[in-house]
Amino acid sequence: MSPDKNTKEMICIVCPIGCHLQVSTDGEEVKVTGNRCSRGEEYAREEMLSPKRVVTATCRLEDPQHPRLPVKTDAALPFEQIEALLAEVYSLSVKPPVKVGQVLIEDFAETGVNLVSSRTIQTQ
């Protein structure tokens, strides 16, 4: 999903109300309507200019009881980097012990975002 240069409709996810936003861009300038609060505007701006997501996945774990280790990014990752990160996660193999929060991939693609384990697995 690449940011549209003109207008776009989106649903605000900041709170459960889910305002239907109309967002238009002109260069760096973003115009938002349909929002009920300023947080909606902020959300729309970020979604238009640099959408980011926290990514969760699993990588291989060398443990017969737990063949997969859940992992996550420790911050939101630029949208266009997600696919490359997933490819790297799926080729990653971790040997226990591993601790929750342990960094598995550091500063992925110079984004400053780390991939960390989201579970502790002791050695058998």
Residues in contact with other proteins by CB under 8 A are 1, 10-13, 15-18, 53-58, 60, 65-68, 70, 72, 79, 82, 86, 90-93, 100, 118-120
Angstrom distance (rounded) from CA 9 to CA 24 = 9
Judged by beta carbon, residue 45 or residue 72, the one nearer other proteins is 72
- For the bound state, the minimum distance from the C-beta of residue 66 to other proteins, rounded and expressed in Å, comes to 8
- For the bound state, the minimum distance from the C-beta of residue 73 to other proteins, rounded and expressed in Å, comes to 9
> Closest Cα partner for 82 from 70, 92, 72?
72
Paired tokens of 123 = 């050695």
Judged by beta carbon, residue 13 or residue 103, the one nearer other proteins is 13
- For the bound state, the minimum distance from the C-beta of residue 24 to other proteins, rounded and expressed in Å, comes to 18
Judged by beta carbon, residue 92 or residue 109, the one nearer other proteins is 92
- For the bound state, the minimum distance from the C-beta of residue 43 to other proteins, rounded and expressed in Å, comes to 10
Q: How many CA atoms lie within 13 A of 7 on its CB side?
A: 6
Helices (H), the chain: 38-49, 82-90
DSSP assignment string, 50-65: --EE--EEEEEES-TT
Judged by beta carbon, residue 30 or residue 121, the one nearer other proteins is 121
Paired tokens of 112 = 């400053």
